[in-house]
C-alpha cells in the first residue's frame, strides 16, 4: 500500500469554525489531490498540487483552500465550515511519469459540520 | 472536459454468478481509464487501468475490463463473484493532465 495517511480520521465541528485536514505521504510523489465523496456524486476534485507551493483549483473549490510547503504534506482548510461541507474527504497521490498515471488514495477523513 | 457515466447505481448479484459493471466516458482523444473499488469504510483501491494497446486488460481480484472506442465504454467484468466483492466500484477517466474525473459509482451487493 502507498504510504498515505490522513489526519484526523474523524472530526465533528460547528458551523463557522475553521478546519484543517492533513495529508501526509512517504512516497515522494509530485502530485497530491484532495477530493470529497458524497452519495450520488462519486469523488469530486477540490484542489490539487503539482509541486511544492504549486496548487490549482478543482471542480468544487469554493470554500476551500490548500497549502503545500513540503513535498510530503498537503493541507486542506475550510476557512469557515458550513453544513454543506459535511462529507468524506480523500487525499490521493500520483507520480509525475505519464506511464504511471494512477492515483493512490488515503483512508479518508469523515467530517461532520453541525 | 472529460466526464464519466456509470448507468447502474446498484447491482445485486448471486455469489458465483458473473458480474458486469458499465462505464461510459466522454472525451475527444484516447483517454486513460481506471476502475477503483471501495470497500465499506475504506479508501479506494485500483483494480485495473487502460492506457493503450490491448483493449482487454486484466486486474487484481480476478477482474477484467474491455475498452471499446466505438462505444466509448470501459466495462468491468468478473466471471464468478465472491461475497468479498460486495463494494462500491468507480470508473474514472484521465485526460493527460494528471487529473481524474470519476463516475458516481455502482454499489454491488452479493447475495448468498
For B7-66, write each residue's pLDDT tens digit: 999 999 999 999 999 999 998 777 889 999 999 888 899 999 998 888 999 999 999 999
For A42-87, write each residue's pLDDT tens digit: 999 999 999 999 999 999 999 999 999 999 999 999 999 999 999 9
**Which residues touch A26 (CB under 8 Å, ≥6 apart)?**
A3, A4, A72
Distance from CA of B85 to the nearest CA of A (A): 19
The three cell numbers locating residue B80? 464468478
Cross-chain residue pair A44–B100, CB shorter than 8 Å: no
Question: Can you count the helices (H) and strands (E) in chain B?
Answer: 0, 12
User: For residues A112 and A29, is the Cβ–Cβ distance under 8 A?
Assistant: no
Q: Is the pLDDT of residue A96 over 70?
A: no
Cross-chain residue pair B103–A42, CB shorter than 8 Å: yes
How high is the mean pLDDT of chain A? 93
- Which of A32, A102, A104, A106 is the mutation pick for testing B, counting most B CBs within 10 A? A102
Amino acid at each position: 500500500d502507498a504510504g498515505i495517511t490522513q489526519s484526523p480520521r474523524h472530526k465533528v465541528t460547528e458551523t463557522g469554525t475553521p478546519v484543517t485536514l492533513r495529508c501526509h505521504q512517504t512516497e515522494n510523489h509530485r502530485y497530491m489531490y484532495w477530493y470529497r465523496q458524497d452519495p450520488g456524486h462519486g469523488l469530486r476534485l477540490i484542489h490539487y498540487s503539482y509541486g511544492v507551493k504549486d496548487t490549482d483549483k478543482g471542480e468544487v473549490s469554493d470554500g476551500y483552500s490548500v497549502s503545500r510547503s513540503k513535498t510530503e504534506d498537503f493541507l486542506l482548510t475550510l476557512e469557515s465550515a458550513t453544513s454543506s461541507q459535511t462529507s468524506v474527504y480523500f487525499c490521493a497521490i500520483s507520480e509525475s511519469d505519464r506511464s504511471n498515471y494512477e492515483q493512490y488514495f488515503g483512508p479518508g477523513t469523515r467530517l461532520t459540520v453541525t | 472536459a472529460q466526464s464519466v457515466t456509470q448507468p447502474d447505481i446498484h447491482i445485486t448479484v448471486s455469489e458465483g454468478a458473473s458480474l458486469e459493471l458499465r462505464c461510459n466516458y466522454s472525451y475527444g482523444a484516447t483517454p486513460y481509464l481506471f476502475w477503483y473499488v471501495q470497500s465499506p469504510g475504506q479508501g479506494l483501491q485500483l483494480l485495473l487501468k487502460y492506457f493503450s494497446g490491448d483493449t482487454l486488460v486484466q486486474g487484481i481480484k480476478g477482474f477484467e475490463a474491455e475498452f471499446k472506442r466505438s462505444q466509448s465504454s470501459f466495462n468491468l467484468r468478473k466471471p464468478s463473484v465472491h461475497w468479498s466483492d460486495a463494494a462500491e466500484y468507480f470508473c474514472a477517466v484521465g485526460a493527460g493532465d494528471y487529473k481524474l474525473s470519476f463516475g458516481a459509482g455502482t454499489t454491488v451487493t452479493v447475495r448468498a
